[in-house]
A and B are shown apart, each in its own frame.
Chain A
Amino acid sequence: MSDNNPDNLAPHSTDPLIRLTDVNKIYETGGIRFPALLDVNLEVYPGEFIGLIGKSGSGKTTLINMITGIDHLTSGEIWIDGTAVHSLNENRMAIWRGRTIGVVFQFFQLLPTLTAIENAMLPMDFCNIHARADRADVALHYLEQVEMADHAYKLPTELSGGQQQRVAIARALANDPPLIVADEPTGNLDSKTADSVFSLFESLVARGKTIVMVTHDRDLAKRVTRSLHVTDGRITSDVTSDIVSDVQVQ
């Protein structure tokens, strides 16, 4: 199967939310060039739940770092929701990212000195979204969505791993972004908690959010609507959920 074959993509009536064209990312360390991504072309449409699958070092995290603007590409173009991400300077990138993308990390990455609700309010604070007086109510609303309202005033150290990840998801939703990008969000959770968090992502997709998620969990990978298999910096398979095979999810 060739990578990025347009024939493999399902037909869509709307414009893609994410479009990657000939994206390359090459790291240079001590004079040695290491290609992390090679000629990646990809289109993601609103409401898709994308699973990025691949071995360690295959380029999954690099790919989502390109999408979120956390890292800079070496060549190519990335368009998200009509914005040429590759052309943004750091300041505009920060504002754009805060409003457009919700990022969820494997190790939750809540700020340890802020309570759950304060962590959820932080993106609104940075992007100046919602009136200052309303931000706590909005944050509480998202914490309710992830069933963490009862723990709103606890510090991260007082929460379990699953609870911290739910707060991290609430924080990702805080600015109501159209796109959620998650890097192995269940990688540090037990299977029951991981299933619960995944269900939460499914419910977000059902409400119209687009999600791009890196995962190693083959059972959870079966539940995404579209799987992209990354090998040595290339997308080597791109299939919808009903044809994801055990062989591909390794």
Chain B
Amino acid sequence: MNIAPRTVKVLRDLSANKSRTFLVVLSIAVGIFAIASTLGARQVLLREFDHGFELSQRHSISFTLDDRSTGVDGVVRQIDGRDDVLGTSARRASSMSFTIVPDDMSNEDALSTLPAPGQDREIIHIHALDTDGFLQPQVSRFHPLSTRAWPPSTNDIIIEASALQVYDFEIGDRLLLEAPFGKAVFRIAGFSHDINAVPAMFFNQVEAFVTMDALHRLGIPAEPNRILINVDPELSRVQVARIADSIEEEQLNPAQIIVSRKEVPEPDFHFFGSMFEAVSVLLLVMAFMALALSAFLVITTTNAILIQQTRQLGIMKAIGGRRSQITALYIKLVLAYGVLALLLGLPFGIIFGYGFIDYAAGVLNFYIFEMTYPLWVIVLLAAVSLLLPLCAAFFPIMRGVRRPIVDSLGSYANLVKFGGGWLDRTLSKITFLSRPTALALRSTFARKGRLALTLTTLALASAVVMSVFSAHASLQLTVDTIGSWWRYDAQITFAHPVDNDSLKRIALENDDVVYAETWIDGRVTISRPDGTTNDSFWTLGVPADTRILDFDFEHGYWPEPGSQGVVITTELFTTEEYLLPPATVTLIVGGQEIERPVTGIATGSLQGATMFMCRDDLADLQGIVGASTRVVVQADGSQFSHADRQTIFARADLQQSILDDLDEHYLNHGYVVASTQTAAGQLEASSEHLDILTTFLLIMALALAVVGIIGLSGSMTLTVIESTREIGIMRSVGASHRAIFGVYITQGLVVGTISWFLGAWLSWPMSYGLMAALRAALEMRLSYTFAPVGVVVWLVMVWIISAVASLLPAWRASQVSIRDAISHE
């Protein structure tokens, strides 16, 4: 094959300098890898989420009805007949406990002996639909994944697949379901996926589907208590809210159906959407940062290549090479780096991206219909991999080829200049160091341009890593701050209201429990001044003289005992800014509107928008005077703050034993427990959720650190190559292999330490910015703290990294022979 010598030169330059080629290719490939794994994964997840969300036909309006409602099916038919309604779905939602029936136990034995004393009972949320709800779902669809029967028989149950994150269910397994007025054994007939279900791993709760006919086995009436409605998706939320109000007024109220909860969810809103968006945007930012840093490496390396080839440039010009021809030659070289980087970075990026997609889809309960990267992402990456090195190398190339031939061919073309500036003169005045150390220090600053780029790369990477440490500490502080106003050991929530005296008496029967409060869980809606209503939100009724809650108020105070004031959290205030105390809020509870003064705004909890009010007031509004839905207890010595993690975790066993004991006692008294939680468990779960964020951030920060390491290693390699003659001179005047090795290791450590110092300063504003970005993305009040431990840990890391990065170049330097060095050009 007749290949032009210019092309041959490009290919041979690539193959002749393998370590240099590898460094450049690896630098670009890391950036490509980072973008491929994050951007690609993000796009696939968004596409699949949108696809799944669209298929699900998620409801626009949801009405939760009083459990005693009757004649709902007829009302649903009326609603279905409205012109502004596209579809309806009527369901019965019930929470109950379940126990897994051992394989060798008959159903009869299970019913008579399970749950055994002390045996774990878990919470399951059952959605019962009629046959059409399975066969022709219109609203909030869920689809079968692997099933034996669809729709299930009255003895079967379909489990929402995210339960597999927590439980090892298999088709054919049997569950004993236990409702207040009956229990029955159901066989798992299959799994389904519901994109709108909360993933089981977050609350350890299982969602499941049965037919309406199966409810009688549990003593539950086959009457819907939830109506899901779809309207025109083009309508605004305000317009949808008006339709909801109209339905309530025209269909539900005349039928005397009490609405206990009305929701108009944000269109396209997914409960983990904001967290996913936050993580993916931050990962993208970091990925682009990695790419930008790899561009710095390309600039450094291209500069070094052109410095090394200065004489060759001069020769090519001397024998007739035009500037454009020589420029084209080096552009081909740089493009070849890009192609090789793409071939290396893209497959690994996609493989890692698939892993990320799989993980994220599992956590967020997405179903991935098609695991293929969008073509435009591949094309974009191909373009980036070619353009990035081209842009980075453009100025070094232009500077190289514009250099006059006479300079290129001169004997001093590549000589390093040292001693001209104040810095050089200052360094040369440092005389207390040994000669080799002084040489290492001065050599570090000899090539200032390269040093600046290497330091920039490593300092930015260092700053990001240290910022992630601070972000982690800040998120922990957020959890601690929120925890600091909860002072309990264990709490139990009941499926139905239970009288306060019974709840307290049973709790105090436990020897470890010294104090108990009973609370009420409810949901209320705000009627805004503009006539619209918001989504119903969690409301807790607590005793006016509560000792469990010690609010951290941003504004106002806890209402006086006997008053009817309410306290809202900062998350609720974010969307309802007109509620600044002393405002008055109009609440819709149980279909009636009431007004309450807002006395305080408390720092938010991780549960989202929440309102606190006096228990007796809420009990009165809900018509359950004297009863509560939750018992919260303190054991001896519980005058601690939940900000003190060690104390809480040290009490974890005590808290669990109290919880187990209370759970059994309440069960024995016939009360249906809906959920249980210890303080340690709550703290751990809250921390874990936020740790998912920091884990992803740390992975990308480490990718940046890898770029930094490659940068340092590359810079050191080039320094050694360019210093070959100096190494020969040092060897000729008696420097040992070890001394030469030491000079270059010291150089690496000096660069690493300076970058750490710069990075530490930079990490303060960067970590602040990172938290501000997280705050904006998560729409949460997050605390901020700087983590000095990150600075110290990273210093140790950077020393190790610098030593490792310099190891190979230093070893190479120590192996240079005097003969090779003197003949080196």
Binding site for B on A (CB under 8 A): 65, 68, 70-72, 90-91, 94-95, 97-99, 102-103, 105, 107, 109, 111-114, 118-119, 121-123, 125-127, 132-133, 136, 171-172, 175
Contact = CB atoms under 8 A, between A and B. Distances in A.
20 contacts: A70-B317, A70-B409, A71-B406, A90-B323, A94-B317, A95-B320, A97-B318, A103-B318, A103-B319, A105-B315, A105-B318, A111-B9, A111-B312, A113-B12, A121-B5, A122-B6, A122-B316, A123-B320, A126-B321, A171-B319
B404 interface: yes
A249 B610 CA distance: 102
B58 interface: no
Contact of A94 (B322, B406, B409): B322
Contacts of A113: 8-9, 12-13, 16
A33 B315 CA distance: 28
B4 interface: yes
Interface string B81-92: 000000000000
Contacts of A171: 319
A72 B319 CA distance: 17
A195 to B, nearest CB: 24
Contact of B320 (A70, A71, A99, A114): A99
A109 B413 CA distance: 14
Interface string B628-670: 0000000000000000000000000000000000000000000
A105 B409 contact: yes
A122 B577 CA distance: 75
A132 B9 contact: no
A98 B315 contact: no
Nearest to B4: A125
Contacts of B404: 71-72
Nearest to A117: B5
Interface in B471-496: none
A126 B319 contact: yes
Contact of B319 (A91, A112, A123, A136): A123
Contacts of A97: 318-320
B325 interface: yes
Interface string B7-29: 01100110010000000000000
A111 B825 CA distance: 12
Nearest to A171: B319
The 8 closest A-B pairs by CB, nearest first: A98-B320, A113-B12, A71-B406, A118-B5, A94-B322, A126-B320, A126-B321, A70-B405
Contact of B5 (A68, A107, A125, A175): A125
A119 B323 contact: no
B592 interface: no
B325 A126 contact: yes
A68 B317 CA distance: 11
B8 A118 contact: yes
Given A91-B322, A109-B315, A114 B12 contact: yes
A122 B315 CA distance: 11
A122 B322 contact: no
Interface of B: 2, 4-6, 8-9, 12-13, 16, 311-312, 314-325, 404-406, 409, 825
Query: In the complex, which of the residues B315, B318, B321 has the most CB atoms of chain A within 10 Å of its own CB atom?
Result: B318
A114 B12 CA distance: 7
A71 B315 CA distance: 13
A146 to B, nearest CB: 16
A27 to B, nearest CB: 10
Given A103-B318, A103-B319, A119 B5 contact: yes
A114 B8 contact: yes
Given A65-B406, A94-B323, A132-B2, A70 B9 contact: no
Contact of A125 (B6, B12, B314, B406): B6
B interface majority secondary structure = helix
A103 B317 CA distance: 11
Contact of B322 (A68, A118, A126): A126
A136 B1 CA distance: 11
A114 B5 contact: yes
Nearest to A121: B5
B486 to A, nearest CB: 71
A133 B2 contact: yes
A70 B318 contact: yes
Contacts of A175: 320
Nearest to B7: A125
B75 to A, nearest CB: 84
A122 B318 contact: no
Contacts of A90: 323
B8 to A, nearest CB: 6
A114 B13 CA distance: 9
Nearest to A174: B319
Query: In the complex, which of the residues A68, A103, A126, A172 has the most CB atoms of chain B within 10 Å of its own CB atom?
Result: A126
A123 B319 CA distance: 6
Contacts of A126: 6, 316, 319-322, 325
A57 B418 CA distance: 25
Nearest to B324: A91
A175 B319 CA distance: 9
B505 to A, nearest CB: 91
B5 A122 contact: yes
A119 B316 CA distance: 10
A103 B406 CA distance: 13
Nearest to B318: A103
B322 A95 contact: yes
A57 to B, nearest CB: 13
Nearest to A181: B318
A136 B5 CA distance: 10
B9 A91 contact: no
A114 B9 contact: yes
Nearest to A69: B405
A94 B321 CA distance: 6
Nearest to B825: A107
Nearest to B404: A71
A123 B315 CA distance: 10
A95 B318 CA distance: 10
A198 B464 CA distance: 64
Contacts of B16: 112-113
Contacts of B12: 113-114
Contacts of B8: 113-114, 118
A119 B321 CA distance: 13
Given A70-B409, A71-B406, A132-B2, A94 B320 contact: yes
B664 to A, nearest CB: 81
Given A70-B405, A114-B9, A114-B12, A132 B322 contact: no
Nearest to B13: A113
Nearest to A127: B320
B406 A70 contact: yes
Given A103-B319, A113-B8, A118-B5, 13 more contacts: A70-B409, A90-B323, A94-B323, A95-B322, A97-B319, A105-B318, A107-B825, A111-B9, A113-B13, A114-B5, A114-B9, A126-B321, A136-B2
A121 B318 CA distance: 14
Query: In the complex, which of the residues B5, B16, B319, B405 has the most CB atoms of chain A within 10 Å of its own CB atom?
Result: B319
Contacts of A125: 4-6
Contacts of A123: 319-320
Query: In the complex, which of the residues B2, B5, B312 has the most CB atoms of chain A within 10 Å of its own CB atom?
Result: B5
Contact of A98 (B6, B312, B321, B825): B321
Contacts of B4: 125, 132
B417 to A, nearest CB: 13
Contacts of B318: 68, 70, 97, 103, 105
B319 A98 contact: yes
A161 B77 CA distance: 100
A30 to B, nearest CB: 11
Nearest to A98: B320
A179 B147 CA distance: 89
B696 to A, nearest CB: 44
Query: In the complex, which of the residues A118, A123, A125, A133 has the most CB atoms of chain B within 10 Å of its own CB atom?
Result: A125
A68 B319 CA distance: 10
Query: In the complex, which of the residues B2, B404, B409 has the most CB atoms of chain A within 10 Å of its own CB atom?
Result: B409
